[in-house]
Amino acid sequence: MCTYSSTKSNSSYDSLFSTSGLPLWSLSKKRHKNFQLGLLRRRRAQMKEGKQRRQRTVMVKKTDIEMKNLKLYMQNQSILEENERLRKKALLLHEENQALLSQLQKKLSQQNSTKINKSN
């Protein structure tokens, strides 16, 4: 019986140690740390990838906004040029209108003066 208990204790003692001579619980901790490091590395890589994706999205949006801004600027410039052209045309039409009104007033005043002279 004594031999059986010593064999049993030896086998249980041997089962606590790996073939490398390190305790199994030590290897378990080592695996756990490696597993955690893998998780950390994966999480960091995913975060970095997500950050890069967000930066690319921001750059694309920024480029789109700049293109829209440029398009609107060009439309605004053409509107301003058209406005200036119409303002000049309106000024010329106003001057022509003033000249025609002046001519009409001269004609009417001449007609009135001839009517007054004829009636006297």
Contacts 24+ apart (CB under 8 A), 60-66: none
Q: What's the domain count of the chain?
A: 1
pLDDT at 1: 44
In a domain, 14, yes or no: no
Residue 2 has pLDDT above 70, yes or no: no
Instruction: Give a yes or no: residue 41 inside a domain.
Output: yes
Per-residue pLDDT tens over the stretch 4-50: 444 444 555 555 555 566 555 556 766 777 777 888 888 898 998 98
Q: How far apart are CA 2 and CA 44, in angstroms?
A: 56
pLDDT at 19: 59
75-116 tens-digit pLDDT:
999 999 999 999 999 999 999 999 999 999 999 998 888 877
Using CA atoms, how far residue 72 sits from 43, 61, 63, 75, 85, in Å, is 43, 16, 14, 5, 20
Q: CA torsion sign, 90 to 95 to 98 to 99?
A: negative
Domain-embedded: residue 115: yes
- Residue 43 has which token pair? 């999480």
Can you give the residue range of the structural domain that contains 67?
Answer: 24-119
